[in-house]
Structure 1
């Protein structure tokens, strides 16, 4: 008998806590390269956004990400981190957005602006559904363009994307479409306001409800006057709160659709069904958004921290949209053609006209 056979067997007892740590360590190591790549694209995009505030870092990030993906698609080792940046970082950015929202301001401004905000949102979503179907645009893309136009641009798209599980190409197209008509609004709205002889608050309400991203709202309203600029910012922040019922509604629709898919649709995407089940009725980041807004309202978020948190949230959105750009199927963008752009133009007109008509009917500026 050999010496090895005479040695007693060594029984190793596994540490129960070691397995989860090792698993999390492996997952983190897998995601680091892709996260760093998304940050590497987001950093120059943020600088570009600071130089040209009307463009903004998120738009620059998604465009630069798409360009990089078109030149050379990221290798397989980057994909887990890029996917995490486009999902979890996006959700975290939405939570931080609440730090800039005061529910007290919402109550103060809501009485005069809520009918206009709700009316423009309802008109936009109805038009997105009807026109989007007529134009043959997919459900997720028309939802993103509709919510982005009707609520608050890239921030709303960031909130809705994980709820409906939209593809990266659809997100990139929606963000680019919203950006284009923000630029048109900045260039034309002040002239239109003077042509209609609108007062400062009236124009602030118009800009706050018909322009999407904050930088474009400020650029448009501040050109008209300081009072218009200040009022437009409050309206825009109040409008951001409409993300909550929209996401709840979309989450409920996704959950119901996922539950019905196995029985009625043999071609349903199982990943989408699983995602809707996990998301549930109330996405965690939406709860976080409301909690941070409440914390800011009661004074738990220091005033001096507002600017830094706002910059951080915009940077995280830029990182997330850079990742979405990096994972975009460029051929999918080409296949979409000009029809989503036409939908964006129609919705922009619908929101602008509805905002003016509702305001004229309720306040007669």
Structure 2
């Protein structure tokens, strides 16, 4: 007998829940510990301790855990680092309205376009001078200039990148994601930035959503929502960049995957749509203050769980295998984007220079 998807949905959800539960409990435990540390040391917040604890434990996973136990927690760790992070971003929409999203987009667009142009040109010119392979420097460039691993994943099939090149790029980007979480709040405090300006800096200069969220939450809760909106608007740059690369590859050879209308539609992350929907609901004023505060705190805890999962899944050997040239290129581009973002913000008067 054939069963419809609707009829089998409860069973499939139950199986999926049982599969991810052990790993989710691990990340939740780390998040509880990180939240406690953040309470004792407020400047750290829960994000930095969560990812640091996760990275430290990742070094012990293969040595201390039996293979069977490691396999049991792996699905939940991946679930936490991807889905729970995306869900946390959706919930952050309760802090914003559609009007603020449009306003943020207009305000940040010149900075986003400037940093993206500098990053892509730098990746091409500096990467070429450093003899970094063409596809690899493209992946590092879009990962640094747009949104980290998400941009790399979106662009990889367009340019026909090999799996080793993708691993190189993701590992390189991840290293600077971690550094950004630690250094950007220090930069923000050293420059005496207000939450609004720091959110603009973090959203335009940090390349991965998780790192933007972590750095902004460490700096201040007030900077978090604004930084996320800037970052999500920046994420939309995946679409024109992917289309442009597709055209270039199509002219060069027939090896790259051409973008269809359906693929273009899939480049818009579902959590971006969910974020906007929640912001629309919040704009209507139908969410009471109590539930709104609860959802904000829930999103912060989910972020800690997600960063714990990201830390636990860090591939340290992959970082070593990447070699110095891709890492150096990633560091140079990261610095270029940061300095360009600060300079553009200064020119617009946001820093008050």
Residue 299 of structure 1: CA displacement?
A: 0.6
- Post-superposition shift, 1:357? 1.6
Pick closer, same or farther for the CA change 1:343–1:186 going to 2, 3 Å.
same
**Alpha-carbon distance in structure 1 between the residues aligned to 2:178 and 2:195:** 24
1:81-96 correspondence to structure 2 within 5 Å: 81-96=76-91
Judge which range, 170-179 or 24-33, deviates more: 170-179
Other-structure match for 1:41: 30
Unaligned runs of 5+ in 1: 1-12, 149-156, 194-202, 220-232
In the alignment, which residue of structure 1 is the partner of 2:162?
Answer: none
Partner of 1:302: 288
- Any conservation in 1 of the 2:93–2:276 contact (CA below 8 Å)? yes
Equivalences for 1:160-309 in 2 at 5 Å?
169=171, 172-190=174-192, 206-211=197-202, 213-218=215-220, 233=222, 237-238=225-226, 240-251=228-239, 264-265=254-255, 277=263, 280-309=266-295
Tell me what 1:358 maps to: 348
Question: Aligned to 1:130, which of 121, 131, 148?
Answer: 121
Distance between the aligned counterparts of 2:334 and 2:294, measured in 1? 32
The CA distance in 1 between the partners of 2:181 and 2:233, in whole Å, is 24
Q: Given the superposition, is the C-alpha separation of residues 352 and 118 from structure 1 closer, same or farther in structure 2, using an over 3 Å criterion?
A: same
Distance in 1 between the 2:296 and 2:153 partners? Answer: 21
- Check 1:172–1:38 CA distance in 2 against 1; reply closer, same or farther (3 A cut): farther
Distance 2:52 2:153 in 1: 20
Equivalent residues of 1:123, 1:350 under 8 A apart: yes
Larger radius of gyration: 1
Q: 1:318 aligns with which of 292, 301, 304?
A: 304
Q: How many residue pairs end up in the alignment?
A: 306
**CA root-mean-square deviation:** 3.9
User: What residue is the counterpart of 2:109 in the other structure?
Assistant: 118
Tell me how far apart the structure 2 counterparts of residues 59 and 117 of structure 1 sit (CA, whole Å).
Answer: 26
2:212 corresponding residue in structure 1 = none
Q: Aligned equivalents of 1:164 and 1:79: distance in 2?
A: 26
Give 2:94's aligned residue. Answer: 99
Could you say what secondary structure the match of 1:56 adopts? coil
Secondary structure of the structure 2 residue equivalent to 1:288: helix
Q: Take 1:353 and 1:252, find their aligned partners in 2: how far apart are those partners?
A: 25
In structure 2, relative to structure 1, the CA distance for the partners of 1:99 and 1:331 (3 Å cut) is same
1:186 deviates by 3.4
CA deviations over 1:250-287 (Å, ceiling 9, x no partner): 256558979989x8448x8xxxx9xx959714332211
Aligned to 2:207: none
Counterparts of 1:63 and 1:164 in 2: how far apart (Å)? 29
CA distance in 2, matches of 1:278, 1:364: 39
State the distance in 2 between where 1:318 and 1:163 align. Answer: 26
Task: Structure 2 unaligned segments of length 5 or more: list them.
Answer: 157-165, 204-214
Alignment TM-score, normalising by the size of structure 1: 0.68
Aligned to 1:7: none
